[in-house]
Amino acid sequence: DSVDLGPYQHYMQKEIFEQPRAISDTLANIASFGPELFNATAQEWQKFDQVLILACGTSYYSACVAKYWIEDLAGIPTQVEIASEYRYRTSVPNPKTLIVVVSQSGETADTLAALRHAQSLGHELTLAICNVDSSAMVRETRWKFLTKAGTEIGVASTKAFTTQLVALYVLAISLAKRAGRITPEQEKSLLRELRHLPKALQAVLALEPQIIAWSTHFAKWENALFLGRGMHYPIALEGALKLKEISYIHAEAYPAGELKHGPLALVTEKMPVVTVAPKDELLEKLKSNMQEVKARGGKLYVFADHDTEIASSEGIQVIRLPEHYGNLSPILHVVPLQLLAYHTACALGTDVDKPRNLAKSVTVE
Ligand code: G6P
């Protein structure tokens, strides 16, 4: 990607709109799923029976989504840990663990140190999911999968995140195949669904004018809550992180089921509650969480799917995504949250691409 901004105002906006291309490139050489995509042999690929994913920041949230996918599709126990926590605690190493480091840069000090710590504990089965071919993590792991996001300049990660999700989904399907859980027909249809992502993303990006309309009001809030359930809980976390990073609005994300264990005390008519509400098996539960917010005067901003029966009314505004994407839904539902953070920050006039106090790559502890 060129450093030329083209029609965009900031690199972050350009990078949000590059996501269909980034995902298409990441998928370009994939004709089927399996160890070869990670540079592993079929024999080596049999050596682990659990997964531990280590990462920081936005990359950590992509790993959190992956836990839902890997356990659901492949049935392999999966843990996710913040790299700076793992490296300094006493853990119980099991050599039959696949250690995955997820990193845009491949140079984040804590993630690299966590990888080396795992190796020092005897872990030999290591995989990097990384956007930079020449990085330390790619050099120091046994197996690798390179995302093809291209250079990401905006400090707040966008296209690196969605391509990491694609890579982790490819890993989950590859592990499901290893477990004998998918037929050749299912494999083909899973690949077709992945290949449809760039087009589906374009349709989500077309929601930008509706999100701009929200952002001018949204910029007036001083705090925000983000809610999601299941594999969309990490998406709510990522939405809150994006908003904090670039607009400096204080934001927290909760799994919606936790609302009554604390955050409901914060809900008044001054609290916006951004809700990630895809049409999945948890939607009815999420709707009752939304009622709890509404009853206390909270202002709901809901991202729903096209055929979800949630209508805009007093205190509830709804933007609908054009399709329901099944397991791939987190990759689509994060995009309006990126746009909401971006346009809210623009409305506030912050330095979107270089937010205060933050660095693109944190190579010192
Ligand atoms: C910094 C960046 C974030 C990024 C995190 C991890 O905090 O500002 O955007 O998610 O580092 O970086 P990595 O390169 O390891 O993905």
**pLDDT value for 311:** 84
Instruction: Per-residue pLDDT tens, the chain, 365 aa: give them.
Output: 567 899 999 999 999 999 999 999 999 999 999 999 999 999 999 999 999 999 999 999 999 999 999 999 999 999 999 999 999 999 999 999 999 999 999 999 999 999 999 999 999 999 999 999 999 999 999 999 999 999 999 999 999 999 999 999 999 999 999 999 999 999 999 999 999 999 999 999 999 999 999 999 999 999 999 999 999 999 999 999 999 999 999 999 999 999 999 999 999 999 999 999 999 899 999 999 999 999 999 999 999 998 888 888 888 999 999 988 899 999 999 999 999 999 999 999 999 999 999 999 899 88
**CA distance readout (Å), 243 to 271, 272, 345:** 15, 13, 8
Q: Which residue has the tokens 């480091």?
A: 101
Q: Residues 287, 294, 354, 360: which is the catalytic one?
A: 360
Angle, helices 19-27/159-178, rounded to nearest 10 degrees: 30
Residues with CB under 6 A from ligand 1: 56-59, 103-105, 108, 111, 155-157, 358, 360-362
Please give the pLDDT value at position 3.
Answer: 78
Q: 67 vs 162, 164, 331, CA distance in Å?
A: 15, 13, 14
Distance (angstroms) between ligand 1 centre and the Cα of 360 equals 6
> 102 pairs with which residues across the strands?
129
Residue 205: what pLDDT? Answer: 98
What size, in residues, is the chain? 365
**Helices 329-348 & 159-178, crossing angle to 10 degrees?**
170
pLDDT given for residue 2 in this prediction = 62
Residue with tokens 């659990």: 50
The whole-angstrom separation of Cα 309 and Cα 280 is: 12
What ipTM did this prediction achieve?
Answer: 0.98
pLDDT score at 67: 98
**What local confidence, expressed as pLDDT, does residue 310 receive?**
85
Distance 265 CA to ligand 1 centre (A): 32
Contact 75, 175 (CB under 8 A): no
164 CA: nearest ligand 1 atom: 16
Which residue bears the tokens 């080396």? 116
Report how far residue 255's alpha carbon sits from residue 221's, in angstroms, rounded to the nearest whole number. Answer: 21
Tell me the C-alpha distance between 168 and 174, whole Å: 10
What is the C-alpha to C-alpha distance for residues 118 and 115, in angstroms, rounded to an integer? 5
Q: What is the 3-state secondary structure (H, E, C) of 181-248?
A: CCCHHHHHHHHHHHHHHHHHHHHHHCCHHHHHHHHHHHCCCCEEEEEECHHHHHHHHHHHHHHHHHHC
Q: Which of 58, 4, 95 is nearest to 246 (CA)?
A: 58
Q: Which atom of ligand 1 is nearest to the CA of 156?
A: 9
User: Which atom of ligand 1 is the closest one to the Cα of 55?
Assistant: 15
Q: How far is it, in rounded angstroms, from Cα 93 to Cα 96?
A: 9
Q: Which residues, including other chains, have CB under 8 Å from residue 4's CB and lie 6 or more apart?
A: none
Look at residues 244, 245, 294 and name the one whose alpha carbon lies nearest to residue 272.
Answer: 294
Q: Which residue has tokens 């270089």?
A: 354
The closest alpha carbon to 140, from 156, 118, 159, 157, belongs to 118
Consecutive H or E run containing 22: helix 19-27
Torsion over CA: 238, 165, 69, 126 (sign):
negative
Active site residue 14: no
Tell me how far the alpha carbon of residue 87 lies from the centroid of ligand 1, in angstroms.
17
CA of 55 to the centre of ligand 1 (A): 9
Q: Which residue has 């140190």 as its token pair?
A: 113
